[in-house]
Amino acid sequence: MAHTAHAVPTRQIEELIMSDDFEQVVAELKARQDIHDLLVRYCRGVDRCDTEMIRSCFHEDGWDNHGFFDGPAMEFAEQAAQSLATRFTSTHHFMTNEHVEIDGDTARSETCNLTILRAEAEGRKSDTLAWSRYLDRIERRDGVWKIAHRTLVSDGTHVIEVAGENARLSQGKPGGRRAQDPSYGFFDRRPGAIDSDLTP
């Protein structure tokens, strides 16, 4: 039997849009997107060793407890950027599962993270894999969500000696730290700029 599609009356749509429930749903969806963008920006900041980008994810009085560091987030941002740039040739922080609970201007989140850290010493390369979780209290102040307190939960690590590289997959444009990374020029381009290496 064929089913006939029925259009939703315009008035019903207007009532839904104007209802308190609709506004509440949209507000929560925006909050969740803002929090997700915040967490992604943090990962980009640490991988690019960009102190200011990391700092932008925390409130000025924010706190970070990574175990090896337990103190003001503004200090953590600088130490993390310097340490990662000095100890590793590249890093990748991958966010996986996110669990976020929002209560007004405060949110609590648990974010699973897989980190790969590439190191080189005495002509040998190694990859450290770390799986962990961020437990964050995130607060909205003046309309902006930032981390107020972060605790790192360590669930395990594994170190792998790199036997060799895949020549075919290593032919991409090399990455870097801070402004030396191609992504900075890519996103900073202004209308009319010409960059044959990065333009899709």
Q: Average per-residue pLDDT in the chain?
A: 88
Amino acid 63: pLDDT: 98
Residue 16 tokens, joined: 């839904």
Among 139, 99, 94, 145, smallest CA distance to 115 is for: 94
Paired tokens of 65:
């407890």
175's tokens: 């990455």
Residue 123 binned pLDDT confidence (cut-offs 50, 70, 90): confident
Percent of the chain with pLDDT over 90: 66
Is residue 122's pLDDT more than 90?
A: no
Contact of 66 with 83, CB cutoff 8 Å: no
pLDDT band of residue 8 (cuts 50, 70, 90) is: very low
Pairing of strands 144-161, 58-65: parallel
DSSP 53-87: HHHTTEEEEEEEE-SS-EEEHHHHHHHHHHHHHHH
Helical (H) or strand (E) element with 91: strand 90-103
Q: What is the mean pLDDT of residues 175-197?
A: 74
The CATH architecture that domain 16-174 belongs to is Roll (3.10)
What pLDDT, on the 0 to 100 scale, is given for residue 197? 54
Residue that wins the pLDDT comparison between 182 and 18: 182
Q: Residue ranges per domain, the chain?
A: 16-174
